[in-house]
Amino acid sequence: MEIPFSALLVQPEEPVLDVIRTSLIESGCRELWTARTVEDAFEVGRQYAAELVVIDVATLPAGTDLRRLSRRLRGAPVVVIAADDQIESAFDAGAVDCIAAPVRGPELVARVRAAIRLRAERTRRSNRERKLSEEIRRLERENCDLERLVCVDSLTGLANRRHALTLLGAEWKRSAREKTPLSVVMIDLDCFHAFNERYGHPGGDACLRRVTDAMVQCLRRPSDFLGRYGGEEFLAVLPNTDAVGARIVAERMCATVEALGIPHETSECSHVVTISAGFASLQATTDRPCDVVIKAADNALLGAKTLGRNGASGEAPAPSPPRQTISPYAWTKFPVVVADPWFVDRIPQFLTDTREEARLIDEARREDDFERVRMIGRRLKANARDFGFDQIRQLAGLVEHAARFEDRGAIREATEELEEYVTHVQVIYRRPLEQAS
């Protein structure tokens, strides 16, 4: 079956020109363009979409790369007319097929049709592979979206119990490997059943959202996260945090929730909504499960309730010197990053890697290796986009731009700001409520 195609003829010697044109038309060529040189062929290729190139090897400058010509013409096969002693070098240069001079019309027709059929088959195969790859990517995205959906509590936007415990288990193993303390804070809203009876379940839902929004703001490090453990119970996980640090976080949460001033007329311990918190800090070991730290924090929570609620309880000395529970100043000069709970176990490592990338950028800057600076900046920009860190993406873009102009001072300033950012940025793991519901 004849397949119609368009062709570019890099003009051979006049005696064989008519033979080639006639053979191409007989082969199914519907559009034919000519060029006198390879450079002219590049120019034609920018304007037209040739599906085949026929070129006389006698017109080729020494060292011509036919593969480059084919790429510039969107993968069009190159058929070369060559003398017997030139055929091998033509194939080495990237020709799909070679025809020995002098040209014979029937042979050229057969070879051109074979080249066009081969191109058509390759195009079909490429399209099939592309569609298959797109389908695989679509299924992977859908699977990822489903996994992200089932890990979030629909009411509060926090990690749900299943996801929070999975993350806690991973942190427990990391704590055992790295010999670092792991702290947990268990939180319970005081007299919340009475609140629901007085203000109704819609009022209770709105209260939970406001309280969780306040509590999650109290977690200052990217590795800390808050999850919903039960109806009005919550679990805060604080990796690499000792008991003193856990006490500070628990007391900050209690004071912050009370400061919201949400009326609670039927509370037994206050006229506003309050929470009780129990904290515990343990050194993880591989011979016991992470449940032990939850039980310890739960026992501490029971102690806080026994002491009258609206407070924190646990085994830890008071910080010295005493700290103000709620600071009147903003925690950081950088905008808070709100991330999906799905990224809890990924973002801390990303920020650690970013700090290392900043060090490598500075190292490359001192060595005047601006190509390496551009490469790192480009990679960092792509990763920042994936995790939703606009500030890092912008700084990486500044690094890449400065490297293009070999501006050492601008690279250094952007790198220093990048290091400061990853050190002080506050990350909150909470899906926007319109997406969580």
H or E stretch including 237? strand 233-239
Q: Which residues of 268-301 are buried (b: 16+ CB within 10 A; e: fewer)?
A: eeeebbbbbbbbbbbebeeeeebeebbebbbebb
Q: How far is CA 296 from the centre of its chain?
A: 36
DSSP type of residue 159: B
Query: Tokens 């193993």 sit at which residue?
Result: 173
User: Domain map of the chain by residue range?
Assistant: 5-124, 161-329, 341-429
The residue ranking higher by pLDDT, 433 or 186, is: 186
Q: Starting from the edge strand earliest in sequence, which strands make up the sheet with 52-56, in order?
A: 29-35, 5-10, 52-56, 78-82, 97-100
H or E stretch including 134? helix 105-149
d(CA 58, CA 86): 9
Q: Are 309 and 269 in contact (CB under 8 A)?
A: yes
pLDDT cut 70: percent of the chain above it: 90
Fold of 5-124: Rossmann fold (3.40.50)
3-state secondary structure of 53: strand
Radius of gyration, CA atoms only, the chain = 34
Q: What is the pTM of this model?
A: 0.70
pLDDT, position 53 = 80
Angle at 223 between CA 362 and CA 355, to 5 degrees: 5
d(CA 327, CA 344): 26
Q: Are 403 and 374 in contact (CB under 8 A)?
A: yes
Inform me whether the pLDDT recorded for 327 exceeds 60.
no
Inform me whether the pLDDT recorded for 61 exceeds 70.
no
Both structure tokens of 372: 């390496």
Contacts of residues 375-380 at CB distance under 8 Å and 24 or more positions apart, as own/partner, are: 377/403, 380/354
Inform me whether the pLDDT recorded for 1 exceeds 70.
no
What DSSP assignment string belongs to 351-380? HHHHHHHHHHHHHHHHTT-HHHHHHHHHHH
Both structure tokens of 16: 């064989």
Residues 9-53: tens digit of each pLDDT:
776 666 667 788 888 888 888 888 877 777 777 777 777 777 888
What single-letter amino acid sits at 11?
A: Q
pLDDT, position 123 = 82
Size of the chain in residues: 437
3-state secondary structure of 226: strand
Q: Is the dihedral of CA 305, 307, 310, 311 positive or negative?
A: negative
Inform me whether the pLDDT recorded for 240 exceeds 60.
yes
Inform me whether the pLDDT recorded for 334 exceeds 60.
yes
Inform me whether the pLDDT recorded for 330 exceeds 70.
no
3-state secondary structure of 68: helix
Both structure tokens of 277: 């918190």
Inform me whether the pLDDT recorded for 235 exceeds 90.
yes
Closest CA to 7 of 61, 73, 56, 87: 73
The residue ranking higher by pLDDT, 329 or 312, is: 312
The residue ranking higher by pLDDT, 292 or 48, is: 292
Taking CA atoms, 145 is separated from 151, 394, 437, in Å, by 10, 27, 14
pLDDT, position 56 = 76
Which pLDDT band holds residue 437 (cuts at 50, 70, 90)?
A: very low
Mean pLDDT value of segment 226-246: 96
pLDDT, position 321 = 65
Cα-Cα-Cα-Cα torsion 223, 226, 230, 233, nearest 10 degrees, comes to 120
Q: How far is CA 436 from the centre of its chain?
A: 20
Residues 361-385: tens digit of each pLDDT:
999 999 999 999 999 999 999 999 9
Inform me whether the pLDDT recorded for 397 exceeds 60.
yes
Fold of 161-329: Alpha-Beta Plaits (3.30.70)
